[in-house]
Amino acid sequence: MAKVEFRRVRKDFDGQVVIPALDLRVQDGEFMVLLGPSGCGKSTLLRLLAGLESVSAGEIVIDGRVVNDLSPQARNVAMVFQNYALYPHMRVRDNLAFPLRMRGMKRAEIERRVREAAGVLGLEALLDRRPGELSGGQRQRVAMGRAIVREPAVFLMDEPLSNLDARLRVQIRTEIAALQKRLGTTTLYVTHDQVEAMTLGQRVAVMEAGRVQQVDDPLTLYREPANRFVAGFLGNPP
Ligand code: ADP
Ligand code: MG
């Protein structure tokens, strides 16, 4: 069964069609990358799935259930943003614990989850620091930690590496791949970077102007691009 399904999803902003009618299925445990140029609708798609925007038409399905009318909290997805969105005045441990406290979770369970996420991400020694005392890479790890502690059904990552320098990008990219292997959580990962998409994605959905042009594993995309756009965008023009 698909973990996530977009069924003929449309999104308009002020009468402008941004996504006309999109179908996409993400399998349980899959790491899928949404790849496309700036402005093609990648972030909008994640925001629709997270419930931060509502669809103009069509259905969004998680675990077989139509979630169109569910609040973001009720959807059991966790989003990692490109600009971290950490609380600057809170220590790392409180940044991690915050989403759980908001849910009224018991203290012992919160502590267990924070410890586990810190272990997975190598943040143990940084738990008492504040975001201003961390490097860019460490901040990005905390942002991921805040998604992990929620143990969501789906991770959504919107260009999580775009604020990092080239060296850190490679390092965190490797960590994200390892994390996905270890946790096995279904992930939808947005990027405009072909290298990132091809190295991380089990499958890659190539988008242009609100439409999915092709969904395939990286090798197939290179060898058998469905059209000129896909071939050109992957730097492999016919
Ligand atoms: P991407 O993430 O692929 O760069 P976006 O999903 O951010 O693309 O945007 C897709 C299109 O929708 C763009 O033309 C953008 O200007 C438009 N858009 C996104 N959010 C809004 C909004 N809240 N109001 C109006 N237009 C929007
Ligand atoms: Mg975007």
| pLDDT tens-digit series, residues 194-236 | 999 999 999 999 999 999 999 999 999 999 999 999 999 998 6
Residue whose token pair is 């738990």: 127
Q: Are 35 and 192 in contact (CB under 8 A)?
A: yes
Rounded Cα gap, residues 35 and 53, in angstroms: 20
**CB burial of residue 54 (10 Å; 0-12, 13-18, 19+):** exposed
Across residues 101-126, what is the average pLDDT? Answer: 92
Ligand with an atom nearest the CA of residue 45: 1
With cut-offs at 50, 70 and 90, classify the pLDDT of residue 8. very high
Ligand with an atom nearest the CA of residue 17: 1
Reported ipTM: the value is: 0.98
Asked if residue 39 has its Cβ within 6 Å of ligand 1, the reply is yes
For residue 238, what pLDDT is reported?
A: 54
For residue 183, what pLDDT is reported?
A: 87
Protein residue whose Cα sits closest to atom 6 of ligand 1: 41
Protein residue whose Cα sits closest to atom 22 of ligand 1: 13
| pLDDT(82) > 80 | no
Residue whose token pair is 């996409």: 24
Mutate which of 9, 12, 13 to test ligand 1's pocket (most atoms within 8 Å of Cβ)? 13
Give the phi and the psi of residue 215 in degrees, each rounded to 5: -125, 120
Nearest CA-CA partner of 35 in 219, 195, 237: 195
Mean pLDDT taken over the chain: 93
| pLDDT(237) > 80 | no
The percent of residues above 70 in pLDDT, for the chain, comes to: 97
With cut-offs at 50, 70 and 90, classify the pLDDT of residue 83. low
Protein residue whose Cα sits closest to atom 25 of ligand 1: 13
| pLDDT(84) > 70 | no
pTM summary value: 0.91
